[in-house]
Structure 1
C-alpha cells in the first residue's frame, strides 16, 4: 500500500531539495586553485579549509540531525535552510581566508537538511518500497554533489568564484518557498524526550547495533576515497594536462552514471542483502583506483575511473542507508546521524590527506593513500564485522 503522504511528486521534491542543499559543501572542490591564488595561499591551506567544511557537516550530523527524532522534522528542515542561506551569503562576502573559513564551517554545519529529509522519506515510505524511495532521494543527493562540482568549476572559469555562493543562496531561498507549501507535515506526535536525553542515547545505539558501526566505518572508507580523488583532481589536471576548474567541473558530470544507477541499487538492496551490495561498492572503488594509478595519464583512463568510482560510492551509500533505516523507525534520525558522521568524517580526512599526499608524493601518493584506506575497508567489512556478529550470536546462545 502506498503512503498517502509520500507520492511520486513528494519523493521528487525531497530529491531536489537534497540536491540543492548538499551542493553547498562541495562547491569548494573545483575552485580550490582560484581561492589559493586570490588569497595567496598554498594548496594545502585551501585543502584544510575544504576539510573544515566537511568537518562542520560531520558535526552538524552528530549534533543537529538527531533532533529529527524529537522535534517536528518539517520545522527543523525549514529552519536549517534559512541558516544555510545566511552561511552561503557570508562566503560570498568573505574579504579574507579567515572569514571564508568561518563561512565554510557554518556552511558545513547548516547544510545537513538532506540528512533530516532522508530518514523522513524512509519513515513515510511503505516498508516494501523503502529501498526504492531512499534510492530515489539519494539520487538527488548525488545529483547535488555532481552538479555542485560542475556548476562551481564552470562558473569560476568565467566569473569570480564568490558568485557560486550568491547563486547558492538564491536557489535555497527559492527552495524554501516551495517546501513551505509542499513538504508533508510530520505525522508523528511531538515526543517529550529532551535534547540532552536524546543525545545521550546515541553512544548507546552505536554500542548496541554492530550493523550501525559497520555502516559508519564503511561510509568513512568509501566517501573518504571519493574525496581523496575529487579534492586533488584539479591539481592533477593542471599538472598533467594544463587544465583548470572548468575541466574539473565538466568531468564531474560523469557521475551521472551513479545518479542513474541509484534507483536500481535501491531495488537491489530490497532484494539482496545490503551487505552484499556494500561489498560490491568496495570492489568497484578499488578497481577505480587501479585505473587511476595505471591510466590516468590518458583522458579515457580518468573518464573510466570516475564512472567506476561514483558507482562504488553510490553502491555503498544506498545499501548502507537501506540497512540502517530498517533497524528502528523511532531512532531513524539518530541512525542516519551516526552513519553520515562517519561518512563525512571520512570525506573530511580524504580532502585533507589527499591534498597533503599530493604535495608530498604527487598522483602516486594520492592513489597509494586511497588503496591503503580501501584495504582497511575490506578488512572491516569482510573480516572484522563477521567476527563481531559471530561473537554476538555466540553470547546470545550461551
Structure 2
C-alpha cells in the first residue's frame, strides 16, 4: 500500500508496508527551509538564555556563583538525555506530530523556569528545558531526509546557521530583556516565541512517515549498533564533542570575565557579545557546500587550526577587548565549521536511520558541551581566565591530534578513503 504526502515543494510517495522505505525522493521549498531554520534556532536558544543571567539568578536565589554556573551543565545534561532517548523516536513516529508536541511541552517548561520560587525548582525546570529542546535535532535529520541529495549539504548548512544564530543571539536577547524586565521576563518571552513557532510548524511542516518498523527498545539498541558499525560516525562524534566542549568553555566562563575588572559590563552588554559570535554562522554554508565536494578532511583540519588560534587571541583578551572579540569570532567560525562538516558526513550513512545517527552524534556533541561547561566553571574559579584559555587550547590540540591520527590510521588500514 502507498500513501502520498506533501513535502514542501513536491509530492512524496512512500510505502506503508512493514518494511520502512529506504529512499524518499523529494525536495524542500525555500520557505520550508527557512521555517525549519528559524524553529531550530528558537528552540535551541532555550539552552543558552541562562548564561548571561547567571549573576542575576545567583543573587535572586542567594546561591553561590559557582553553583549558579551549574545551571548550564544541568540544561545540557537534560539535552544530552533527550538526544539519547527522545531523538530516536524521529525514526519511529510521524515527525511533524512529534515536533509539534515537543514544542508545546517546551513552552510549558520555559514558563516553569520563569515562575521558579526556589533554586531547586529552577534547576529541575532547567533540566526539563534541556530535555525538550531536542526538537531542534529532529528538524535537522528531517531536512536531510527530505532534501534532494545534491542540495543536502547546503540545506543542512542553512538550518545549522539558524541553530548557531539561536545559540548566540539567545545571549544577546537574554541580556537586553533582563536589563529591561528582569531575568524572569526572558523566559516568558521565550515561551511566547516557541508557542508562535509551534503553530507555524503545525501548519507549515510536511508530514514525514516513520522510517523504522521496530519497537522503541529495538530502536535504542540499534543506536549502539550504528556506533559500532560506522567508523565515520564514531570519528565525527569525537570531533564534535571536542569542538563543542571548547564552545561551552568560552561561553560559560565569559560572563565571569566580563563582569569583573577591567570590563565591569552589564548583563545587556554581555548579551551583545552574542552578536559578535553570530559571525560564525557564515561558515555553515561554506562548510556544507565544500563538504559535498569531498573536502571534509581538509575542512576539519582547517577549522581545527582556527580553534587553536582563537584561544591564543583570547588569552590576550584578559585585559584587551580587541583580541577577545577576534578570538570569539574565530572560535565560533571553527565550531560551526566542524559541526556542519561532521553532519554532512554522518548524513551519508543509513538514510532510513537518520534520527538515530543524529541521536548518537548529538549525544556525544552535547556531552562534550556539558563536560566543557563543568570544567570551565571549576578552572575559572581556580585559575581565572588564564586557566580557561589553557583548557580551551588544550582541547583544540586534542581535536587536531584526533583528526590526524584517526584519518591516518584508517588510510593505513585501507578501510575507507578519508572523509
Alignment TM-score > 0.5, same fold: yes
Q: Does the CA contact (< 8 Å) of 2:257 and 2:385 recur in 1?
A: yes
Q: Which residue of 2 aligns with 1:98?
A: 120
Alignment of 1:29-48 (within 5 A): 29-48=51-70
Q: Which residue of 2 aligns with 1:154?
A: 176
Q: Which residue of 1 aligns with 2:245?
A: 224
**1:25 equivalent among 7, 25, 47:** 47
Give 1:3 shift. Answer: 5.7
Q: Which residue of 1 aligns with 2:24?
A: none
Give 1:385 shift. Answer: 4.3
> In structure 1, what is the Cα distance between the partners aligned to 2:140 and 2:226?
19
CA root-mean-square deviation: 1.6
Give 1:388 shift. Answer: 4.5
The question of 1:207 aligning with 2:228 is answered yes
> In structure 2, what is the Cα distance between the partners aligned to 1:303 and 1:182?
38
Ranges in structure 1 where 5+ consecutive residues have no aligned partner: none
Q: Which residue of 2 aligns with 1:250?
A: 272
> In structure 1, what is the Cα distance between the partners aligned to 2:48 and 2:317?
26
The question of 1:261 aligning with 2:283 is answered yes
The question of 1:363 aligning with 2:368 is answered no
Residues paired across the two proteins, number: 392
Does 385-394 or 346-355 show the bigger shift?
385-394
Give 1:306 shift. Answer: 1.0
Give 1:386 shift. Answer: 3.0
Specify the SS of the correspondent of 2:180: coil
Specify the SS of the correspondent of 2:69: helix
The question of 1:322 aligning with 2:344 is answered yes
Give 1:392 shift. Answer: 6.5
Q: Which residue of 2 aligns with 1:306?
A: 328
Deviations 1:133-178 (A, max 9, x none): 0000111101111110100112112221011111111111111111
List structure 1 segments (4+ residues) > 3 angstroms apart after TM superposition: 188-191, 388-392
The two structures have a TM-score, normalised by structure 1, of 0.95
Q: Which residue of 2 aligns with 1:332?
A: 354
> In structure 2, what is the Cα distance between the partners aligned to 1:189 and 1:294?
51
Q: Does the CA contact (< 8 Å) of 2:304 and 2:400 recur in 1?
A: yes
Q: Which residue of 2 aligns with 1:344?
A: 366
Q: Which residue of 2 aligns with 1:170?
A: 192
Give 1:294 shift. Answer: 2.6
Give 1:189 shift. Answer: 5.4
**1:238 equivalent among 243, 250, 259:** 259
> In structure 2, what is the Cα distance between the partners aligned to 1:78 and 1:224?
30
Does 36-45 or 316-325 show the bigger shift?
36-45
Specify the SS of the correspondent of 1:112: helix
Specify the SS of the correspondent of 1:26: coil
Does 277-286 or 49-58 show the bigger shift?
277-286
Q: Does the CA contact (< 8 Å) of 2:211 and 2:352 recur in 1?
A: no
Alignment of 1:38-77 (within 5 A): 38-77=60-99
Does 319-328 or 266-275 show the bigger shift?
266-275
Give 1:391 shift. Answer: 3.5
> In structure 1, what is the Cα distance between the partners aligned to 2:192 and 2:322?
36
> In structure 2, what is the Cα distance between the partners aligned to 1:147 and 1:371?
25
Q: Which residue of 2 aligns with 1:125?
A: 147
**1:141 equivalent among 163, 166, 184:** 163
> In structure 1, what is the Cα distance between the partners aligned to 2:313 and 2:385?
12
> In structure 2, what is the Cα distance between the partners aligned to 1:351 and 1:191?
35
Q: Does the CA contact (< 8 Å) of 2:257 and 2:318 recur in 1?
A: no
Specify the SS of the correspondent of 1:52: helix
> In structure 2, what is the Cα distance between the partners aligned to 1:91 and 1:380?
39
Q: Does the CA contact (< 8 Å) of 1:210 and 1:385 recur in 2?
A: no
Q: Does the CA contact (< 8 Å) of 2:80 and 2:363 recur in 1?
A: yes
Ranges in structure 2 where 5+ consecutive residues have no aligned partner: 1-7, 11-26
